[in-house]
Amino acid sequence: MLLEKSVRADISTVIAAKYADYSSLVKMRLSSLVVFTAAISYLYADKGVEIMDWSKFISLIIGGFLVTGSANGFNQVLERNLDKFMKRTQNRPLPSGRMSVVEALIASLLMGISGILILGYQVNYLTAFFGIFSLLSYAFIYTPLKQVSRLAVFVGAIPGAMPPLLGYVASANHFGMEPGLLFAVQFVWQFTHFWAIAWLLNEDYNKAGFYLLPSLSGTTKASAYWIMASSIIQIPVSVLLYSFHYVGVIYLISAIVMGVWGLYPAYKLVKNCDAVSAKKVMLTGFLYITVIQVMMLIDKI
């Protein structure tokens, strides 16, 4: 009896450890945020849950998660030797040796193929196309470019801005100005968001040969000015949805208020050039994009 309990406990421990490793491989929190953003845009394009195709919606969530997880998996395979140098990533399953490269490659490939097939056959081919583009550009263009050029941030912002576009196209079955503007809002936001993270992790990134802040000088006023400039630019870009009459006053007020509110921590970063201000820029950015997307949906409904 005791032996049976011990075996069960060991099996449970192994399963829990393997689950934790795969959660790390697919970057569970990031993948979940991507799916959330795509789901919001799906509902936005669908004009509300009453007339929603639940089968397609669930397929978008599953397929989108698998494609995102695949991209993150390939990213970690390619950066496994660099991750060893960074405190933030050295305990990931590949650099720590808990998962083999072959296992990670197979898992990433299976997730990618399964996700694309689900998007293509259960949602629509246009969504699958954008899913493939997002996966390939993130894993095989952005990832290697990080060690070569600061332009990697610009390239990485493209797949990073794909979730709202994917959600809209999945629901509406077409691409046009409206999903293009959804993409543009998230695209511009990516710079403020990522540069704030790059500021906080600059020392760690440098150990791996990643120099991702906008200025060669690193964590200085020059980079801080770029971050504030992107914070300013995202306000008029977010207002374009209202200018083209896709949303109403609720969204407009939310976008302006949240955008102006986000300028204060950016200003503090210019003034202080410290990690505390950079962290506030990052956290404010998270809240900004979440609030305006939710308000966008509420306004449309």
**Residues 212 and 295 placed together within one structural domain of the fold:** yes
**Residues 2 and 134 placed together within one structural domain of the fold:** yes
**Residues 232 and 89 placed together within one structural domain of the fold:** no
The residue out of 149, 167, 189 marking a domain boundary is 149
**Residues 212 and 250 placed together within one structural domain of the fold:** yes
* Rounded average pLDDT per 10-residue block, the chain, 301 residues: 56 85 93 93 76 88 96 96 91 94 97 97 96 96 91 94 95 93 96 95 90 91 96 96 94 95 95 96 95 91 74
The residue out of 149, 164, 194 marking a domain boundary is 149
Q: What pLDDT does 209 receive?
A: 87
Query: Is residue 160, in this structure, part of any structural domain at all?
Result: no
Query: Is residue 271, in this structure, part of any structural domain at all?
Result: yes
The residue segments making up the domain with residue 121 are 1-149
The residue out of 149, 165, 197 marking a domain boundary is 149
**Residues 10 and 64 placed together within one structural domain of the fold:** yes
Query: Is residue 159, in this structure, part of any structural domain at all?
Result: no
Query: Is residue 161, in this structure, part of any structural domain at all?
Result: no
Q: What pLDDT does 1 receive?
A: 59
**Residues 195 and 115 placed together within one structural domain of the fold:** no
**Residues 120 and 219 placed together within one structural domain of the fold:** no
The CATH number given to whatever domain includes residue 138 is 1.10.357.140
Query: Is residue 164, in this structure, part of any structural domain at all?
Result: no
Query: Is residue 167, in this structure, part of any structural domain at all?
Result: no
Query: Is residue 156, in this structure, part of any structural domain at all?
Result: no
**Residues 182 and 120 placed together within one structural domain of the fold:** no
Distance CA 258, CA 133 (A): 31
**Residues 92 and 35 placed together within one structural domain of the fold:** yes
Domains in the chain, number: 2
Query: Is residue 166, in this structure, part of any structural domain at all?
Result: no
**Residues 194 and 80 placed together within one structural domain of the fold:** no
**Residues 78 and 201 placed together within one structural domain of the fold:** no
**Residues 141 and 194 placed together within one structural domain of the fold:** no
